[in-house]
Every structure is written in C-alpha cells, then in structure tokens.
C-alpha cells in the first residue's frame, strides 16, 4: 500500500475545499510560499502552529484532523484501513475481544494475550486492534469527557488573545489565544517534524503484508513478513515541549495512553517473531515506528526519546521467545506515559501492570448436544467453515456430526489444528479423517503457503514452543504423559519428582492447562508430541501406580463415612489415572497392587454403575500369580461377588462368596466370615428365600454386634428388615429399617442411609400406608441423588412409581418407570426377584388404568428425561 505524503494530503484537501494556494494561505494567515513548499514536498513536515492554522482553515475535525496533524509531523497519513483486514470472520472470541478493548480503553497499559501456539492469539489481537481503531465517540467515560473538554477548549473556545477579533465566516471563533500558548511555551520544533507524536492512526509494516493474512487464519500467525514499512518518523531529537503541555492541552487530559482509549498517534504492529535477541527486537521497533538513531545515543535511548510524548498503541506480536527482554517493555511503559501495549505471547511477560488474558481453545459441543447445538458451537463452526472453503457447497449433515465432534475434541478445539484438519477433507471423508487423527502430528502437516514456517504443521508449532523451555521443563513435559485425564500438584510432585516452579513454566508456555480445583491437564496435541523416553517410562509408571493406590485406599475409607460425596468427586476426577494404575499393575504382573486397587474401588464401581468394568478388573487381578490364601484375595473375591450379584449373575456371585469364605475360615478371620455370611443371606433373599436370608442375617448381626462395628450393624439391620418385609412381622421390619437409617446417618454414609430409607418405604407400602411410603421414597431418592448413586436412584424411582400407582396417579408413575428402566440400562444393574415382583405389579396396574398410547407416551417421556430430572 502506498502512503500519502503530507504534501499530497494538503493539496487534496485544499482542492476538495475549493481553495487556491493563495486563498488557503490567506485563510490560514500564512504565506503562499509556505503552502507551496509543503505541497511540493520541499518541506515534508510542518510546525505545529502552521499545521493547526491549516487544519482550521480547511475546517478539519475529528479523525480527519488527527490524521492531518499526524501526517504533518512526519506520519504516513494512514488511517485504520492500514491494519490488515482479515477476509474471514473471527469465531468464538467475542468475550476476549470485549475484555481486551475495555482494558485498553480504560486504565490498563499492557494487555498480554497468552495461549498455546495455534490457538488464535494474533488473529484475536488484530480484531482487538481494529476495535480500538474504530471511533470511540460513543464512549461515556471520564477519558472521553476530558477529550471533549480539551477539544472544545482548543478548537471552539474564545481565543481572542494575540490575534484579536473574531475572524467570522463558517469557521468563526477566535483562535489566537490557543496558538499564543504554544508560542509562549517556547516551541522550537520545525523542519523534519516536531517529534511529538507517532505517525498514522494505525500504522504498521504494510507493503506486501496487506494481503498476507488472506487465509484468515484463526491460528497464531499467518503472514509472510515481506514488504515495505509503514509508520512515521517519530522524531530525530528530544525537543523542548514545556510550553506545549501547558498551552496546548492545558493539563486537562489523562495521559494514560490515548485520549479515552483513542490512540491519536496510531496503532503500530511490531512483529518480533524473527527477532532472536534484544538488539534485533529494538531494531524491529525502530523499523515499524520509523525511529532514526541520531548516533549519539543507544538505539533504545533513541526509541525512548522518540516515543516519550506519543499517544499510541503498540501491537507487539509473537513475543514469547523474548520475555527475558520484557524489562525493556516495562521501561517504555514507565518513561512513555502515553503508550500502551497489546502483546501476543505463548507465556506472560511478568512485569508490573501486565493484564494477562488467556486465549483458550474454542469451546466444544457439550456431551449429548443436539445437532443444532453442535453446529452452533465455536469449534465446529470454525471447522465446518474451513471445510466449506476446501469443498465449496459442502455443509455438515447430521450423519457426519459425531465424526466432526470427535475431530474437534481430538484436536482440543485448537484453531490451527482444525484448519490443518479441514485441508485434509479434500481427500478424506469426515469419518476417515476422525479415524486417522490418532496420529495427528503426522497427518496435519500441510498448512497455508502464506503462513509462517512454524504454522505450517502442528509439529512445527509445538517445536517452537518446546524450544522456549529450560532443561527442567523439557524433562518434565514428557513425564506428564503418564497421567490420564489430569493431575493434582501433589501427584505431579510425587510421580514426576518435579516442583511447582517447573510446572509453572509449562503452564506459562501454555503447554499445560490449568483446570478447576487446582488440577492440571495436557492438551491432546501436546500429549502426542511429548513422548516419554524409554529409560524413564517404567519408573514413572511404577511411581504413578503407587501414588494412586494410596489415593484409592484413602478414598475407600471415606466412601462409608461423612466424606462420601467429596470422596466420590475426587475419584471421578482421577478415574482415568486409576484405570491407568490398574492397567500398569495387571500388565506388569503386580498382583498385590492390582488386588488392593480392586478392593478399594469396588464400591465406587457399584455406585457409579460400572459393574462390568469393575468385575473385569477384579477377575484380571485374581488371575495373576500372587497372594494365594491371603485376606487380600478373599476381600477381592467378595468384592467381585458383590458386583456379580448386582449384575444378576447369582451363580457367579455364590462362587466368589464361597471361595472368599473358605479363605476367611482358613486364616481365622471372624469378621471376614461374618461379612460373607451376610452376602450369602443376600443371595437367599434374591432367590426369594426370606426365612433362609433372615437366618444368615441374624447370625452375621450377632457376630458384628460383638465388634461394635456400627456401619456393618446398620447394614445388617437393613438387610434383616428386607427379609422381614414379606412376612407378617411388618412392625419389626419398619423398626429395623428406621434404626438402620439412623445409624447410617450417624456415621455419615448418605448412600446407605438412602438404601435404608427405601427399605422403610417398601415396608410401609406393604402396610398399605402409601402416603407415608411416598414420603420415605422421596427422602431416599434425594439422598441417592446427592451422591449420584444411579443404581440406587433407579430403585427409588421404581419404589416411588409403585406407591404413586397405588394412590392413582398413573401417568406420573409410568414416567418414573420409564426413567428407572433407562437408568438400569446404563448402569447394568439387574432387578432382583423381589424387585421384579414389585415392578411387574406396578406395570400391571398401569396397563389396567391407562390406554396403550398414554402408557407408551408417558413411558417414553420418562426414558428421555435426564437422570437427575424430577418427574
């Protein structure tokens, strides 16, 4: 783009105004020779007083006046259009742009956009710069008010000082006083420019770069750095400006970098991607801002002198490899109060006054999102737009939605990765691309030809980030791949034998992401890149398994006490790591670790409905050569039996229990024996043998009363109540159930209290007290939902449906039956014989009272409801 000189601008504006050189000179009260010399370029810049006289005579106001004054000082005359205008829209960054604009239009003077390479920092920064270059006249801020007051004082006020009377005409107003203030201040600047302000409002290195970003990359960079430089001569010398401050601005403006966020001296792009040291960085500043070194000062001193009184925004791009030179940015902020910085960097500068704004990957569709929600999500929106650019006329269809979501998920919603993936759809189907992304670093290798080399492939982008790390961080990064789904600081310190400072380095370089609750995670793309060295892998896996074994055993104790909900949440967060630890133990033949993990986790598996998976892990652990007739193997067999019983596999459950009982008897473990007796009673109950079940429960209860184990006593009281509820002794059954619930409440076991409240409700139903039964079922349901016990929620819904059907609300009962059946399907928990009898009775009641269509619709409505939805 060719810049318009000040002389050309003056001539154009004069002709637009319909004035000859003589007429303009007369109106401005300067010589015709002065106008002629300026237009012919003999004098390339004008004094400030001359510039104001000409601007007044030409009737210039607002941005036109600012551009004119800037050009007169040696600027390019370029306005906002000089910033490259992306040809594709920015997607999903509205909040980030708004936040940065608000900061920079306010008091913030340094805003740093940080994020992983390819996340779109540069593209977002350009959007911010364009927003800031727009006229903020609609702002209602103190800064804007100051500006308005200053302009009114400087342009339209009563100025009958040195020059005397009113000039009249369209541009009436006496102007002498204002100019007199400048003169009285001893203004000395002339010739090449007064050196007070920078050039055009949005000056940058333009030339060939105007078209560099034609691809509209949402990644960090695109753009060949060729082409001429645009900017201005910020001034050759450190001129005396004492008078100008007093008369010109009257001290009324806040000099915190622009008038109300309006950068009258321009917005300048300084790209330091190719600056490999501090000296090269300063040279990039000089080139972009057209600062000339006088030869008597260091380059940085010349830069400080040139920018000291400017009001401009420096858009500093790709700074991450120069953060050791951030003190130079701090010095510019301290000594040049009118300058603000918008910086893009993969890591923060860590200087005073910095406002860090993280640019995160684009949001992905939520699990279970509808097709419309999938299409509207930012990551999918960007990906599908880029695919459409490769395959004109293409639109995402419902059949490809799942593959598109998997692609975006696998690539972490990272814009650069999504663009590289979209380029592959010219030869791959959506599902084919999704399948091949297991090797994303190899398949995503061909970027746009106008992109920087480090943006040509995903691996190149990560190589650039890796090159910024110190040795400790380089050592830690591959070690973090041992974790699955994230980790806590304590886990990292123990497993990886590294400290917070090293982890912080990776976070600051955006190679590790911070998650909620003080956790950290690796992006999928970084995980694939950071391969663990072979000589480190086995030790890491062993330390990982040891750490998470201790973690699981601690959590298991809390699952039967007051910390149940918190313990479940912690297990949920680290379940990927627990699976990893189990896999390591089984693969290495570490029977003890595998068995201990299985015993610690069986109750978690039961609560979360992971019955088949839990049983598989336990069976794999039991198959390993290791502890034979030990208590540990007995505990594991009993746990496997519990999960098999939950699945309805009563024969397998009995085999596991019998084997466990034999071990407990062999090692003389009375508590172990009593616990298995209770389990065998459960099997009798499942088979409909209530009297046989009762005998087992009574025997076990007697043994545990002697130990004082309140939790197990509560468990046995509940089981005995279940056995009695189908006998005439309903009063005793109710008392036992209430006692059990109270004991569970006392020890803080919310889940088991819910089970006891459900037992009480079923006893009350047998007594035909359906209203009391409904209240008890609702109490049980609330407790089970509190700890996300999905299998228990299903049982409570079925019990509540039975009570409600007996009271006549058939449609509601049908919805509850549908919801319960869906939950049983996703947890894999089968109906016991007693449950089946009650379930079938409820269904028959519904079939008698509802039409087939009404029953079907209500049932379907229940199945479609969310697990926690109250029907």
| Residue where the block lists tokens 């333009």 | 206
Adjacent-strand bridge partners of 806: none
pLDDT digit string, tens, across residues 320-372: 999 999 999 999 999 999 999 999 999 999 999 999 999 999 999 998 899 99
- Both tokens of residue 413? 């919603």
The Cα 791–Cα 820 span in angstroms is 9
CB 322 within 8 A of CB 283: no
Our measurement of the distance from residue 219's CA atom to the centroid of its chain's CA atoms, rounded to an integer in Å, reads 16
Backbone angles phi, psi at 16, to 5 degrees: -60, -35
CB 760 within 8 A of CB 741: yes
Count the neighbouring beta carbons within 10 Å of the beta carbon of residue 623: 11
Q: pLDDT value at position 661? A: 94
Of 231, 175, 239, 142, nearest to 27 by C-alpha is: 175
- Both tokens of residue 414? 């990272």
- Both tokens of residue 842? 């409820």
Percent of residues, the chain, with pLDDT higher than 70:
78
pLDDT above 90 for 249: no
The Cα 175–Cα 654 span in angstroms is 103
Of 146, 145, 147, 182, nearest to 162 by C-alpha is: 182
Backbone angles phi, psi at 89, to 5 degrees: -75, 150
CB 126 within 8 A of CB 359: no
Q: pLDDT value at position 624? A: 94
CB 783 within 8 A of CB 751: yes
The Cα 292–Cα 315 span in angstroms is 20
Q: pTM for this structure?
A: 0.61
Our measurement of the distance from residue 631's CA atom to the centroid of its chain's CA atoms, rounded to an integer in Å, reads 46
Our measurement of the distance from residue 721's CA atom to the centroid of its chain's CA atoms, rounded to an integer in Å, reads 50
Adjacent-strand bridge partners of 196: none
pLDDT digit string, tens, across residues 388-446: 988 888 999 999 999 999 999 988 898 888 888 888 888 888 898 888 877 676 666 55
Helix (H) / strand (E) element for 284: namely helix 278-289
The Cα 492–Cα 501 span in angstroms is 12
pLDDT above 80 for 635: yes
Helix (H) / strand (E) element for 50: namely helix 48-58
CB 415 within 8 A of CB 118: yes
| Residue where the block lists tokens 């009272």 | 849
Q: pLDDT value at position 84? A: 66
Of 378, 363, 360, 316, nearest to 507 by C-alpha is: 360
pLDDT above 80 for 99: yes
What confidence category does residue 870 fall into, taking pLDDT thresholds of 50, 70 and 90? low
Locate the domains of the chain by residue range: 1-74, 94-139+203-239+254-358, 371-461, 469-532
The Cα 858–Cα 817 span in angstroms is 9
pLDDT above 50 for 600: yes
Decide the pairing of beta strands 513-515 and 519-521. antiparallel
Lowest mean pLDDT among 378-382, 633-637, 865-869: 865-869
Higher pLDDT, 60 or 134: 60
What confidence category does residue 227 fall into, taking pLDDT thresholds of 50, 70 and 90? very low
The Cα 167–Cα 107 span in angstroms is 40
Our measurement of the distance from residue 135's CA atom to the centroid of its chain's CA atoms, rounded to an integer in Å, reads 31
Q: pLDDT value at position 193? A: 33
Higher pLDDT, 443 or 264: 264
Mean per-residue pLDDT over the chain, rounded: 79
Query: Roughly how many angstroms between the first and final C-alpha of the chain, as a whole number?
Result: 66
pLDDT above 90 for 314: yes
- Both tokens of residue 754? 């819910």
Helix (H) / strand (E) element for 247: namely helix 242-248
Average pLDDT, integer, range 503-522: 89
The Cα 686–Cα 648 span in angstroms is 9
pLDDT digit string, tens, across residues 152-200: 333 333 333 333 333 333 333 333 333 333 222 222 233 333 333 333 3
CB 307 within 8 A of CB 289: yes
pLDDT digit string, tens, across residues 679-726: 999 999 888 888 888 899 988 888 888 888 888 899 999 999 988 888
Helix (H, G, I), strand (E, B) or coil at 275: coil
Cα dihedral 688→694→695→699 (10° resolution): 140
Q: pLDDT value at position 452? A: 53
The Cα 767–Cα 737 span in angstroms is 14
pLDDT digit string, tens, across residues 800-820: 998 888 878 899 899 999 999
Higher pLDDT, 816 or 141: 816
CB 633 within 8 A of CB 625: no
**How buried is residue 868: exposed, middle or buried, by Cβ count under 10 Å (0-12/13-18/19+)?**
exposed
SS3 content of the chain, % helix, strand, coil (to 5): 60, 5, 35
Q: Which CATH class is domain 469-532?
A: mainly alpha
- Both tokens of residue 218? 């949402």
**Looking at the domain that runs over 1-74, which CATH code has it been given?**
1.10.260.40
Q: pLDDT value at position 93? A: 93
pLDDT above 50 for 760: yes
Helix (H) / strand (E) element for 357: namely strand 354-358
The Cα 382–Cα 850 span in angstroms is 49
| Residue 265 DSSP one-character state | T
Q: What distances in angstroms separate CA 201 from CA 67, 79, 732, one per listed residue?
A: 7, 5, 87
Of 66, 9, 68, 7, nearest to 35 by C-alpha is: 7
pLDDT digit string, tens, across residues 47-79: 788 888 999 999 887 767 877 887 787 654 333
Q: Which fold has domain 94-139+203-239+254-358?
A: Rossmann fold (3.40.50)
pLDDT digit string, tens, across residues 547-597: 999 999 999 988 877 677 888 889 999 999 999 999 999 999 999 999 999
């Amino acid at each position: 783009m060719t810049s318009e000189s000040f002389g050309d601008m003056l001539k154009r504006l004069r002709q637009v105004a319909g004035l000859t050189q003589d007429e303009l000179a007369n109106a401005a009260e300067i010589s015709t020779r002065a106008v002629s010399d300026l237009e012919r370029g003999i004098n390339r810049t004008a004094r400030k007083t001359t510039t104001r006289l000409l601007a007044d005579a030409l009737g210039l106001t607002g941005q036109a006046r600012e551009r004119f004054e800037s050009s007169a000082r040696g600027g390019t005359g370029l306005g906002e259009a000089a910033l490259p205008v992306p040809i594709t829209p920015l997607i999903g960054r509205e909040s980030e742009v708004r936040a940065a604009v608000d900061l920079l239009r306010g008091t913030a003077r340094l805003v740093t956009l940080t994020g992983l390479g390819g996340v779109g920092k540069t593209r977002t920064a350009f959007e911010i710069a364009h927003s800031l270059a727009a006229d903020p006249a609609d702002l209602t801020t103190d800064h804007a008010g100051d500006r308005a007051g200053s302009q009114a004082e400087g342009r339209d006020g009563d100025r009958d000082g040195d020059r005397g009377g009113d000039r009249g005409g369209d541009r009436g107003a006496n102007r002498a006083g204002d100019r007199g203030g400048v003169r009285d201040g001893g203004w000395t600047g002339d010739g090449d420019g007064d050196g007070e302000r920078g050039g055009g409002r949005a000056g940058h290195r333009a030339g060939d770069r105007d078209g560099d970003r034609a691809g509209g990359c949402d990644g960090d960079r695109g753009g060949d750095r060729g082409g001429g430089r645009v900017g201005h001569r910020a001034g050759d010398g450190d001129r005396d400006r004492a008078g100008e401050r007093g008369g010109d601005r009257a001290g009324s403006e806040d000099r915190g970098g622009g008038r109300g966020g309006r950068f009258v001296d321009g917005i300048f792009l300084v790209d330091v991607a190719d600056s490999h040291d501090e000296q090269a960085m300063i040279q990039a500043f000089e080139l972009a801002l057209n600062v000339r070194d006088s030869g008597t000062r260091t380059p940085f001193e010349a830069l400080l002198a040139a920018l000291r009184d400017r009001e401009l925004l420096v858009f500093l791009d790709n700074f991450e490899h120069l953060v050791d030179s951030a003190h130079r940015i701090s010095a510019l902020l301290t000594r040049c109060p009118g300058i603000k910085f918008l910086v893009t960097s993969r890591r923060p500068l860590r200087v005073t006054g910095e406002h860090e704004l993280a640019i995160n990957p684009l949001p992905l569709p939520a699990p279970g999102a509808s097709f419309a929600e999938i299409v509207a999500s930012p990551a999918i929106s960007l990906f599908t737009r880029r695919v459409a650019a490769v395959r004109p006329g293409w639109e995402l269809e419902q059949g490809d939605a799942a593959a598109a979501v998997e692609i975006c998920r696998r690539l972490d919603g990272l814009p650069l990765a999504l663009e590289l993936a979209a380029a592959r759809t010219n030869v791959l189907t959506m599902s084919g691309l999704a399948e091949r992304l297991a090797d994303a670093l190899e398949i995503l290798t061909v970027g746009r030809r106008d992109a920087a080399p480090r943006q040509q492939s995903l691996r190149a982008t990560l190589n650039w980030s890796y090159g910024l790390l110190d040795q400790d961080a380089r050592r830690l990064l591959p070690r973090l791949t041992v974790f699955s789904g994230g980790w806590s600081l304590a886990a990292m310190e123990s497993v990886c034998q590294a400290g917070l400072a090293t982890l912080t380095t990776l976070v600051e370089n955006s190679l590790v992401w911070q998650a909620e609750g003080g956790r950290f995670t690796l992006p999928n793309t970084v995980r694939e890149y950071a391969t663990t060295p072979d000589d480190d892998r086995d030790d890491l896996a062993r330390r990982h398994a040891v750490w998470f074994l201790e973690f699981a055993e601690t959590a298991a104790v809390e699952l039967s006490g007051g910390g149940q909900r918190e313990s479940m949440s912690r297990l949920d967060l680290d379940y990927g790591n627990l699976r990893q630890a189990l896999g390591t133990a089984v693969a290495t033949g570490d029977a003890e670790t595998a068995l201990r993990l299985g015993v610690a986790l069986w109750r978690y598996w039961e609560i979360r409905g992971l019955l088949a998976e839990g049983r598989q892990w336990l069976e794999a652990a039991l198959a390993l050569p290791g502890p034979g007739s030990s208590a540990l193997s007995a505990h594991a067999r009993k746990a496997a039996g519990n999960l098999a019983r939950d699945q309805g596999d009563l024969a397998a459950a009995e085999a596991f229990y019998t084997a466990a009982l034999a071990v407990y008897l062999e090692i003389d473990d009375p508590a172990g024996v009593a616990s298995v007796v209770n389990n065998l009673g459960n099997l009798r109950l499942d088979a409909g043998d209530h009297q046989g079940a009762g005998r087992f429960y009574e025997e076990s209860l007697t043994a545990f009363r002697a130990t004082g184990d309140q939790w197990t006593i509560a468990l046995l009281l509940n089981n005995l109540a279940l056995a009695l509820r189908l006998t005439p002794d309903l009063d005793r059954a109710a008392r036992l159930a209430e006692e059990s619930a109270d004991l569970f409440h006392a020890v803080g076991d919310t889940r088991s209290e819910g089970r006891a409240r459900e037992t009480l409700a079923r006893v009350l139903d047998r007594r035909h007290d359906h209203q009391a039964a409904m209240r008890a079922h609702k109490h049980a349901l609330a407790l089970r939902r509190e700890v996300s016990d999905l299998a228990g929620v299903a049982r409570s819904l079925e019990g509540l449906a039975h009570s409600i059907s007996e009271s006549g609300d058939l449609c509601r009962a049908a919805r509850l039956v549908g919801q319960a059946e869906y939950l049983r399907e996703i947890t894999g928990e089968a109906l016991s014989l007693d449950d089946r009898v009650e379930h079938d009775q409820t269904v028959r009641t519904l079939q008698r009272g509802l039409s087939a269509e009404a029953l079907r619709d209500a049932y379907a409505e229940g199945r479609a409801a969310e697990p926690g939805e109250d029907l």
